[in-house]
């Protein structure tokens, strides 16, 4: 099954964020049991060439690639999809209009510009009709909810067709609510509200959490996609674990 099929079927999926613009790191992550790798072009220094070579490496490892674009702009969506990303994760979807823009710019015939020479199109190996059909059916659209405005407009956002999953950005949501603790009761209540509303509308939900012990709680509320940690956090944890174990013998 494709990443999209697994996501839409409600299969629990685990991914991680890539913060380092390195195809070699992608090769390493491609050898792991992660279901997908999310290239974080919003919060890490990825340009189009970096995204391209990282997707190429992940494709070679047969690991699904998600690109979190820097902002909700048509050129960022186009670039990632033309490079061959299997999924787009768009930050700060705060209204139904934002959600509709995301879907339209991700879809041929509704706003996405066509190019038959891209990796996604097989470098002109596929005809226009085949590429349009394959791409529209296969790309995954994920909308990130992380603003107070999104809470105010939640029902309208969830009603937009063409979005495969709604991803909760808890850290930005915390800041947007005027708070500084992601575990504040108001933040937890907001996350629970999004989960219940999305599941009630028949939509898939994903999220990040730094506390893995929380996952059973969010699974019970319907979350199925978890993008957890990053290559940076793994390096830090691995190095600190190694030195701690060795120092215990000194």
Question: Which residues are designated catalytic?
Answer: 43
Using a 10 angstrom Cβ sphere, with 0-12 exposed, 13-18 middle and 19 or more buried, the burial of residue 106 is buried
Q: Quick one: tokens of 144?
A: 């990130």
| DSSP designation for 86 | S
Roughly what angle, to the nearest 10 degrees, separates helices 74-83 and 96-105?
A: 40
Q: Considering Cα of 32, then 38, then 44, then 46, what sign does the dihedral take?
A: positive
CA distance 14 to 7: 10
* Chain centroid offset of residue 5 CA: 15
**Site of tokens 């199109």:** 121
Residues forming a β-bridge with 88: 67, 141
CA distance 132 to 118: 12
First to last CA, the chain: 50
Going along 12-69, which residue ranges are E strands? 13-18, 36-40, 65-68
Residues forming a β-bridge with 144: 167
Tell me the longest C-alpha to C-alpha distance in the chain.
66
């Amino acid at each position: 099954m494709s990443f999209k099929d697994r996501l839409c079927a409600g299969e629990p999926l685990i991914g991680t964020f890539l913060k380092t613009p390195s195809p070699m790191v992608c090769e390493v992550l491609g050898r792991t049991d992660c279901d997908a790798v999310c290239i974080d072009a919003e919060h890490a220094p990825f340009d189009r060439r970096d995204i391209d070579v990282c997707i190429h490496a992940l494709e070679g490892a047969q690991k699904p690639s998600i690109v979190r674009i820097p902002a909700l702009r048509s050129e960022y969506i186009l670039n990632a999809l033309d490079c061959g990303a299997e999924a787009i994760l768009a930050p700060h979807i705060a209204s139904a209009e934002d959600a509709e823009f995301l879907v339209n710019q991700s879809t041929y015939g509704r706003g996405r510009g066509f190019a038959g020479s891209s990796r996604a199109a097989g470098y002109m190996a596929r005809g226009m009709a085949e590429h349009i059909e394959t791409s529209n059916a296969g790309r995954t659209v994920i909308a990130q909810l992380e603003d107070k405005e999104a809470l105010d407009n939640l029902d309208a956002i969830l009603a937009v067709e063409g979005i495969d999953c709604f991803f909760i950005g808890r850290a930005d949501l915390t800041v947007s609510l005027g708070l500084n603790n992601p575990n504040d009761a108001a933040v937890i209540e907001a996350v629970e509200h999004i989960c219940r509303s999305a599941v009630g509308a028949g939509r898939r939900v994903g999220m990040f959490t730094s506390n893995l012990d929380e996952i059973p709680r969010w699974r019970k509320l319907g979350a199925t996609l978890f993008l957890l940690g990053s290559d940076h956090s793994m390096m830090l944890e691995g190095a600190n674990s190694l030195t701690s174990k060795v120092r215990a013998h000194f």
